[in-house]
Amino acid sequence: MKLTLKIWRQADSSDPGGMHTYELDEVSEDMSFLEMLDVLNEQLIEQGEDPVAFDSDCREGICGMCGLMINGDAHGPEVTTTCQLHMRSFSDGETITIEPWRADAFPVLKDLCVDRSAFDRMIASGGYISVNTGSAPEAHSVPVPRDDALRAFNVATCIGCGACVAACPNGSASLFMGAKITHLGELPQGQPERDSRVVNMVAQHDHEGFGGCTNIGQCTAACPKEIPLDVISQLNKDLRTAMRHGH
């Protein structure tokens, strides 16, 4: 198929950036979206033009490194990661607009690459269970009901791609944060630090410049791992409980 690609080009974070238009022929529907960009880049290199920078790594939907706004949707029209989006989701002759994640807390580094290190700092602020290596009790000493473990697993599948933030009109990272709060909060091992965790993570979230949540739900609609919206309710509940406990 033949495509017209409108791609955001920006040399670095200080450059104002702008849309550029490229024509691409002979796109096969078996290509992933990123392989289509690989083909474009080979064409650009041949023409002596700087290839488009974009992030990707595992290309099997699990590392969370890739992420593009495609025709205004985070990761494009399907509920999946950009690397698992295939060109059969598009049609011959289509014009596709490709932009980087949009959020103040995710500054653009170059073209379609953004800086998501705010997510790491949020995890560092409390998204863990404190246990020194070698000091863990025998694994069977604390049973975890099967359903609790399953729910913890289901929300622990967040890949930290940032689609929730990019899709949110407020640029909120509440879904990302709620997933971690819920994962650790579902497990007995996560209880001792439950209050301090939520208070510290919320403080870090706000400090990073993410917006507040107004329950629009675009985050969960865009999430490739289908993290449910109720992790945000859990987050708010945990925060209220922590405040009642005097945090």
Partner 1 sequence: MPDTTSAAEPSLSADTEGEHDDAAGFYTPGEPIADAKAPGGPVADRWATRKFESRLVNPANRRKLSIIIVGTGLAGASAAATLGEAGYRVKSFCYQDSPRRAHSIAAQGGINAAKNYKEDGDSTHRLFYDTVKGGDYRSRESNVYRLAEVSVNIIDQCVAQGVPFAREYGGLLDNRSFGGVQVSRTFYARGQTGQQLLIGAYQALERQVAAGTVSCYTRHEMVELIVVDGEDGPRARGIVARDMVTGEIETHTADVVVLASGGYGNVFYLSTNAMGCNVTATWRAHRKGAYMANPCYTQIHPTCIPVSGSHQSKLTLMSESLRNDGRIWVPKSKADCEKDPREIPEEARDYYLERIYPSFGNLVPRDIASRAAKNVCDEGRGVGPEVDGVRRGVYLDFTAAIERMGKDGIEEKYDNLFDMYERITGENPYEMPMRIYPAVHYVMGGLWVDYDLQASIPGLFVTGEANFSDHGANRLGASALMQGLADGYFVLPHTIRDYLADGPFEPVADDHPAVVEARESVQSRIDHFLNNAGTRSVDSYHRELGNIMWEFCGMERTEDGLKKAIDLIRTLKDDFWRNVKVLGTADSLNQSLEKAGRVADFFELGELMCIDALNRRESCGGHFRGESQTEDGEALRHDDQYAYVAAWEFAGDDQPPVLHKEDLVYTAIEMKQRSYK
Q: Looking at 69-77, 93-101, 130-138, 207-215, which segment touches partner 1 (CB under 8 A)?
A: 130-138
Q: Looking at 91-99, 114-122, 214-222, 237-245, which segment touches partner 1 (CB under 8 A)?
A: 114-122
87 or 167: CB nearest partner 1: 87
Minimum CB separation of residue 218 from partner 1 in Å reads 22
Q: Are 52 and 44 contacting, i.e. CB atoms less than 8 angstroms apart? A: yes
Look at residue 43 and give its three-state secondary structure.
helix
User: Does residue 92 touch partner 1 according to CB under 8 A?
Assistant: no
Sequential DSSP letters for 122-183 = HHHTT-S----TT-PPPGGGS---HHHHHHHHHHHT-----HHHHH-TT---HHHHHHHHHH
Span 140-179, contacts to partner 1 by CB under 8 A: 140, 142-146, 149-150, 152-153, 156-157, 159-160
Could you say which of 21, 28, 91, 215 contacts partner 1 (CB under 8 A)? 28
Q: Looking at 91-99, 119-127, 164-172, 209-217, which segment touches partner 1 (CB under 8 A)?
A: 119-127
Q: 114: which 2 tokens? A: 């953004």
Q: Looking at 69-77, 166-174, 187-195, 207-215, which segment touches partner 1 (CB under 8 A)?
A: 187-195
User: Does residue 183 touch partner 1 according to CB under 8 A?
Assistant: yes
214: left (phi over 0), alpha (psi -120 to 50) or beta: alpha
- The order of strands in the sheet holding 69-70 is 18-24, 3-9, 95-99, 69-70, 73-74
Could you say which of 19, 21, 95, 136 contacts partner 1 (CB under 8 A)? 136
User: Does residue 113 touch partner 1 according to CB under 8 A?
Assistant: yes
DSSP letter (8 states) at residue 86: B
Could you say which of 20, 104, 128, 247 contacts partner 1 (CB under 8 A)? 128
Q: Which residues contact 77 (CB under 8 A, 6 or more apart)?
A: 70, 71, 85, 89
Question: What is the Cα–Cα distance from 157 to 162, expressed in whole angstroms?
Answer: 13
Residue type at position 59: R
228 or 244: CB nearest partner 1: 228
Could you say which of 19, 21, 23, 131 contacts partner 1 (CB under 8 A)? 131
Sequential DSSP letters for 103-134 = -TTS-EEETTEE--HHHHHHHHTT-S----TT
Q: x-or-dash pattern for partner 1, window 38-77, by CB under 8 A?
A: xx--x--xx-xxxx-x-xxxxxxxxxxx------------
